[in-house]
Structure 1
Amino acid sequence: MSEDQGIEPVAVSITGLRKSFGDKTVLDGVDLTIRRGEFVVLLGPSGTGKTTLLRLLTGLEVPDAGEVLVPGRRTTVYQEPRLIPSKRVLANVLIGLRRNRITREAGLAALAEVQLDGKANQWPATLSGGEAQRAALARALVRDPELLLLDEPFAALDALTRLRMQDLVGELVARHRPAVLMVTHDVDEAVRLADRVIVLDRGRFAVDTTIAVPRPRERTDPDILRYHTDFLAHLGVGDPDRRLLRSTP
């Protein structure tokens, strides 16, 4: 953090980003800045380019135009945990890392952070859905990412487990302070977790606004309800005249 301004450094900088598949323009000149410790959530209907944007940040896709600047230490947590069945939980967490005492201790510490400290020697098949996703989070944490990408990580979980995972991710992000870009279809989830919410529509950012409500956030808070109603309206649900929010710096 800058001692002079108290502003976190920029972790992600995107300018003029364009991406098309055939005749379909998926991203049409978008600009995005995410600072260290900032939690940004991307909302939008299916097929609007949310996952494409994540893939561009990971390097799995190449932009047609524009500039993408991202940190070297970045990792992604997907909707599926993507654990290797033939490796125990700790081995999955440490996959791709040099195995030594230091990385083993780091892996065990990461498992403890996600409340899986007793599961290190278990097989993935013995884990519940929530536990498997927590193992995937531990695998991300052990890499000390500067940028954490979350591609609908809670979509396959039941409602109660989903809420618990949201709380856990919020705590972990507050503790480790990576820049975060998360894709979700869930407006409740977006308003609960995000510092900023972006609505992607026809390849452009229709809304990019800060959630100016302190944490912890209650769904019944009038301000939270206002954000919720507005984002739904921008997504085509409810009264379009209720779209009160506009992009904010």
Structure 2
Amino acid sequence: MAARLPGVDTVASVRGLTRAFGDRVVLDALDLEIGPGEFIALLGRSGSGKSTLLRALAGLDREVTGELSVTGSVAVAFQEPRLVPWKRVLANITLGLDAPAERAHAALAEVGLTERAQAWPLTLSGGEAQRASLARALVREPGLLLLDEPFSALDALTRITIHQLVVELWARHRPAVLLVTHDVDEALLLADRVLVLDEGRIAHDSPVTAPRPRHRDNPELITLRADLLAALGVAPEGRS
């Protein structure tokens, strides 16, 4: 089990974090620090350990070893919204949390779901369900918000809308954010720092300084995209 140490000017600090499944080492003495208010995107090929790292930060994997500290509360939004189907939306937002009703209603208002507070989860669209998942995370007032590919199941237009919502919520509340994604463009449009996980360690770390709102034709993003694809072992377009 990872030893938990007090963080200094960080929301999360990981040193020498290791996780193996049998003979397969997924995280190999990984080091990472996340500062207050940082928006970080984590890229990596399938099976590279992205979700394993996220679960360790969330305290959901007790089999990791090394040193890990997280300051303040942590909230997670997964690829699947994971709403309890027999509880209405408002009850899902406060599930397992002793939160005032006004805080839950405020969270729903922030994600545009005020009128769906008493709806059943199975009546929500995919975008609405993901908004509810974000509201459930927000109501916990996290210092660290972990997003595990929460946009991958959404259609293109809904994804753009939820992207904008996440950036607005981050700018308003300023939690540190760690977004796990397979999408290089998504990482560049949303994050201010992009990491690539490879062979169990952080193999690439790029700041993104382009002003918001961002556009794919920004020269900085074009250059960073090529660098990230190379770090992921993907040949540039037009090359074999």
Both proteins in one fold, TM over 0.5? yes
Alignment of 1:53-92 (within 5 A): 53-92=53-92
The corresponding residue for 1:52 is 52
Q: d(CA) in 2 for partners of 1:219 and 1:74?
A: 31
**1:182-207 Cα distance to aligned partner (Å, 9 max, x none):** 10000111000111100011111110
Q: Distance in 2 between matches of 1:63 and 1:40?
A: 24
Q: Which runs of 5+ in 2 are unaligned?
A: 1-7
The alpha-carbon deviation at position 71 of structure 1 amounts to: 2.3
Change (3 A) 1:138 1:64: closer
Match of 1:3 in 2: none
Q: What residue is the counterpart of 2:42 in the other structure?
A: 42
Number of residue equivalences: 231
Matched with 1:194 is: 191
The TM-score with structure 2 as length reference comes to: 0.92
Alignment of 1:184 with 2:181, yes or no, is yes
Deviation at 1:9, TM superposition (A): 3.4
Report the TM-score, using the length of structure 1 for normalisation: 0.89
Query: How far 1:98 moved relative to its partner?
Result: 2.6
- 2-structure distance, mates of 1:202, 1:98: 41
Query: Match for residue 123 of structure 1?
Result: 120
Q: Which runs of 5+ in 1 are unaligned?
A: 1-7, 243-249
Structure 1 residue 63, shift from structure 2 partner: 4.9
Q: AA paired with 1:235?
A: L
Cα distance between partner residues in 2 of 1:157 and 1:16: 35
Aligned 8 A contact 1:28 1:203 in 2: yes
Give the deviation of 1:72 after TM superposition. Answer: 3.8
Alpha-carbon separation, structure 2, partners of 1:192 and 1:239: 19
Q: Closer, same or farther in 2 for the Cα pair 1:202/1:86, shift >3 Å?
A: same
Equivalent position to 1:213, from 206, 210, 213: 210
Cα distance change, pair 112–230 in 1 and its aligned pair in 2 (3 A): same
1:125 and 1:23 map into 2 onto residues whose CA distance is 41
Residue aligned with 2:182, SS: coil
Residue 192 of structure 2 contacts residue 207 of structure 2 at CA under 8 Å; is this kept in 1? yes
Could you say which residue in structure 2 is the equivalent of 1:33? 33
Identity of aligned residues (%): 59
Q: Which residue identity lines up with residue 11 of structure 1 in the other structure?
A: V
CA deviation string 1:67-116 (max 9, x = no partner):
000124101000011111111110110111236xxx11101100000011
User: Does the 8 A contact of 1:17 with 1:63 survive in 2?
Assistant: no
* 1:227 partnered with 2:224: yes
**1:14–1:33 Cα contact (<8 Å) kept:** yes
Give the distance between the partners of 1:147 and 1:97, measured in 2 at CA. 17
Matched, 1:96 2:96: yes
8 Å CA contact 2:31–2:201 kept in 1: the answer is no
Instruction: Quote the offset at 1:133 in angstroms.
Output: 0.3
1:84 and 1:61 mapped to 2: Cα distance? 22
